[in-house]
Structure 1
Amino acid sequence: MTIGNWSTMTEFTLTALPDLPEIQVFLFVILLLIYTLTATGNIMTISLIWTEPHLQTPMYFFLSNLSFLDILYSTVVTPKLLACLLAEQKTISFVGCITQTYFYFFLGTVEFILLTVMSFDRYVAICNPLRYPIIMTSRACLILLLGCWLGAFLSVMVPTIVVTKLPYYRKEINHFFCDIAPLLQVACIDTHLIEKINFILSALVLLSSLTFTAGSYTYIISTILRIPSVQGCQKAFSTCVSHITVVSIVYGSNIFVYVRPNQNNSLDFDKVAAVFITIVTPLLNPFIYSLRNEKVKEVLRETVNRLISLILRKS
């Protein structure tokens, strides 16, 4: 494999988008609605956490950052996808494509590490409750959060630089955004080594973080099962259900797509899975945490009641 200088390609065409105007308008409306709900739901989650004293804990601090991450993650793909649906030429500039690729994997990696940190927070809270205030201090939370962003930045930077150096022989990308597999498919050199490196990096990030998360929950579940009170057992487990649900969705969909030695043989499946990863999951997360978390629901009800009372007094 040889890697040349910067590609002379100036733009790519996203060929996975439909050409029929009726379908384009329908998809535009649906995706715009989903994107609006995603942003609204996550902004509401962040606002509740940062304005309610009852939610000023490490668990909700990390949850607010997960919501912020979901907004960014959805924004990397959806606005450009909406613009392409309304445009006659479904194009994206070379710089825009590489930028989208980088932030897609960068933010995704941050999410995997953050979910692992959140599982560690639950492990300390349930398995070592007396030491929890000592271990999970504000300073420790900030260091863990910075570690998520820095670790993701370093792990994604080198593969992205390699992709920018590849020569490309055609501009048609068989996808609705600049994922790594369709980009490698249009490179005019043998990319098997790059695919293997991407596979190793993806497996390392996904499986190592998943292993740590699974280990944390193994200890958590074993501790919960030793709680003599059924009510206490249910209360302890209820704080973990939302996180387990999100972990299952995020890891399940990403492992199927990216932890494969050869990603070029199932691009059609990848496109369907990518819709779930980039569009559906950021929408589901705030609703999962809101509907499954009694404390969030209680604070949300109190906030809504205060707003209704305020409106009634003014009217």
Structure 2
Amino acid sequence: FLDICYISASVPQMIVNCLVRIPIISLGQCLAQMCAGLYLGVVECLLLAVMAYDRCIAIGDPLRYSVRMGPQLCAQLAGASWVSAFLLTVVPVLTMPLEFCGQHIINHFSCELLAVLKLACNDLWIYELLIMVTSSLTLLAPFAFILASYGCILGAVLKMHSAEGRKKAFSTCSSHLTVVIIFYGTAISMYMMPQDKASRDKDKIISMLYGIVTP
């Protein structure tokens, strides 16, 4: 469900833009697309961390998995991810509106946050600070948690005596680990690394990786 929503936030408009000679989007649609992309992207970050914890318990303590990861806890973790993402993305955007003036040409495939901010007339230091703080909470912290979880998983796998058990454990984690590397690697390079003019075209490709490929 999340992956479908995440792709739907940007891909349909991108297809429309490719089919028309002069792509146009209203300010309201653009801001809605930006908020939806931010919100669903942060939900994805948090749920990937939850999934890493789930695999850590499943491999590290399989006999008590049903007790430690019951339906109620899973629902609570998923709900907390959706609510936390809303508080970290949508609320700040709504409480600190952007003002636009001058040229309104977005140098991007979609209404991505950094591309939209380049058009704003506001003093952007508060927004840049907010992006850094939010990125630390939604990218670095979950990524560190995922690394710790996989450290526990690796320790549990090395203790297994059965080669078949090790193979099954690695196959269980391989797809998730691949998504984590692509998603977090591209998102961190976008939002946590210094930006310059030469990186604009590169950022377009990177945003497609974490916004379209990984879901």
TM-score of the superposed pair, with normalisation by structure 1: 0.64
Superimposed CA distance per residue, residues 236-288 of structure 1 (whole angstroms, 9 cap, x where no aligned partner): 22211111111111111111111125476622111111122222223xxxxxx
Residues 1:122 and 2:122 are matched in the alignment: no
Distance in 2, matches of 1:233 and 1:85, equals 46
Distance in 2, matches of 1:83 and 1:230, equals 51
> Aligned partner of 1:200: which letter?
V
Q: 1:215 aligns with which of 133, 145, 148?
A: 148
User: How is 1:126-275 mapped onto 2 (pairs within 5 angstroms)?
Assistant: 126-161=59-94, 164-262=97-195, 266-275=199-208
Structure 2 SS opposite 1:260: coil
Structure 2: runs of 5 or more not aligned: none
Moved over 6 A (4+): none
Cα distance change on mapping 1:141 and 1:130 into 2, 3 Å: same
Residues 1:85 and 2:18 are matched in the alignment: yes
> Aligned partner of 1:254: which letter?
A
Contact 1:113 1:209 survives alignment (8 Å): yes
Structure 1 SS opposite 2:25: strand
Q: Which is worse superposed, 106-115 or 166-175?
A: 166-175
Structure 2 SS opposite 1:130: helix
Distance in 2, matches of 1:120 and 1:78, equals 30
> Aligned partner of 2:45: which letter?
F
Cα distance change on mapping 1:116 and 1:263 into 2, 3 Å: farther
Contact 1:73 1:108 survives alignment (8 Å): yes
Distance in 1, matches of 2:19 and 2:109, equals 13
Distance in 1, matches of 2:196 and 2:31, equals 18
Distance in 2, matches of 1:94 and 1:263, equals 25
Contact 1:73 1:278 survives alignment (8 Å): yes
- Count of residue correspondences: 215
> Aligned partner of 1:179: which letter?
E
Cα distance change on mapping 1:222 and 1:81 into 2, 3 Å: same
Q: 1:113 aligns with which of 46, 49, 70?
A: 46
Partner of 1:101: 34
Structure 1: runs of 5 or more not aligned: 1-67, 283-315
Structure 2 SS opposite 1:173: coil
Structure possessing the higher radius of gyration over alpha carbons: 1
Distance in 2, matches of 1:129 and 1:264, equals 50
User: How is 1:27-106 mapped onto 2 (pairs within 5 angstroms)?
Assistant: 68-106=1-39
Contact 1:126 1:223 survives alignment (8 Å): yes
Q: Which is worse superposed, 220-229 or 157-166?
A: 157-166
> Aligned partner of 1:146: which letter?
G
